[in-house]
Amino acid sequence: MATGLALAALRAHRPAFVGTAVAALFAATVVSASTMMLGTTGAGGTSGLPAPARRQIRESGVGDMAIVLLIGSVYMSIFVVVSTMGTAVAQQHRELAMVRSIGARPRQIRRAVAVQALAASVPAALLGFALGGVGARWWHAGMVAHGLLPAEAVFRFGWVALPVCVGVAVVTTTLAALLSALRFSLLRPARALSEASTGRRGLGVPRALLGVLAVVGACFVSVLLSKRPAAEAGEGAFLVLILFCVGAGLLGPRLIGPAAWAVSALVGRFGPSARLAMLNVRSQPRRFSAAVVPLTLVVGFGLTKIGMRTTARHRTGSAGGAGEVWLDYVGTGLYAGFAAIAAVNTLAMISFERRRDVALLRVVGSRRAQVRAMAAWEAGVVAATALLLGGAIALGTLAPMLSTAFGSALPYLPWAVPVGIAAGTLLLTLLATGLPVHAVMRRRAISVVGGT
Alpha-carbon Rg for the chain in angstroms: 23
CA atoms within 13 A on the CB side of 134: 7
Average predicted confidence (pLDDT) for the chain: 77
Q: Please provide the DSSP assignment of 101-165 as one string.
A: HTT--HHHHHHHHHHHHHHHHHHHHHHHHHHHHHHHHHHHHHHHHTTSS-TT------TTHHHHH
Residue 43 has pLDDT above 60, yes or no: yes
pTM summary value: 0.78
Q: Give the highest mean pLDDT range of 128-132, 224-228, 314-318, 357-361.
A: 128-132
**Region for residue 103 given its phi and psi (left: phi exceeds 0; alpha: psi -120 to 50; beta: otherwise):** left
* pLDDT value, residue 256: 64
Residues 6+ apart with CB under 8 A from 345: 19, 20, 22, 23, 83, 84, 87, 432
**Region for residue 439 given its phi and psi (left: phi exceeds 0; alpha: psi -120 to 50; beta: otherwise):** alpha
How far is Cα 212 from Cα 43, in angstroms, rounded to an integer?
43
* pLDDT value, residue 422: 92
- Per-residue pLDDT tens digits for 137-192: 988 888 888 888 887 777 888 888 899 888 888 888 788 777 777 766 666 666 66
How far is Cα 389 from Cα 385, in angstroms, rounded to an integer?
6
Residue 1 has pLDDT above 60, yes or no: no
- Per-residue pLDDT tens digits for 209-222: 888 888 888 888 87
Across 221-258, b (16+ Cβ under 10 Å) vs e yields bbeebeeeeeeebbebbbebbbbbbbbbbbbbbbbbbe
- Across residues 10-32, what is the average pLDDT? 74
Q: For 410, phi and psi rounded to 5 degrees? A: -85, 130
* pLDDT value, residue 6: 52
- Per-residue pLDDT tens digits for 346-372: 777 777 777 777 777 777 767 778 878
- Per-residue pLDDT tens digits for 390-412: 898 888 888 877 877 787 888 88
Residues 6+ apart with CB under 8 A from 118: 170, 173, 174
- Per-residue pLDDT tens digits for 52-108: 777 777 777 777 777 777 777 777 777 677 767 777 777 666 677 777 677 777 777
Report CA 385 to chain centroid distance, whole Å. Answer: 16
Residues 6+ apart with CB under 8 A from 145: none
Q: Identify whether the C-beta of residue 168 lies closer than 8 Å to the C-beta of residue 74.
A: yes
How far is Cα 176 from Cα 89, in angstroms, rounded to an integer?
9
Task: Indicate the SS3 state at residue 201.
Answer: coil
pLDDT grade for 3, boundaries at 50, 70 and 90: low
* pLDDT value, residue 127: 92
* pLDDT value, residue 129: 92
Count of C-beta atoms within a 10 Å radius of residue 261: 15
How far is Cα 189 from Cα 177, in angstroms, rounded to an integer?
20
* pLDDT value, residue 24: 82
301 versus 264: the higher-pLDDT residue is 301
pLDDT grade for 423, boundaries at 50, 70 and 90: very high
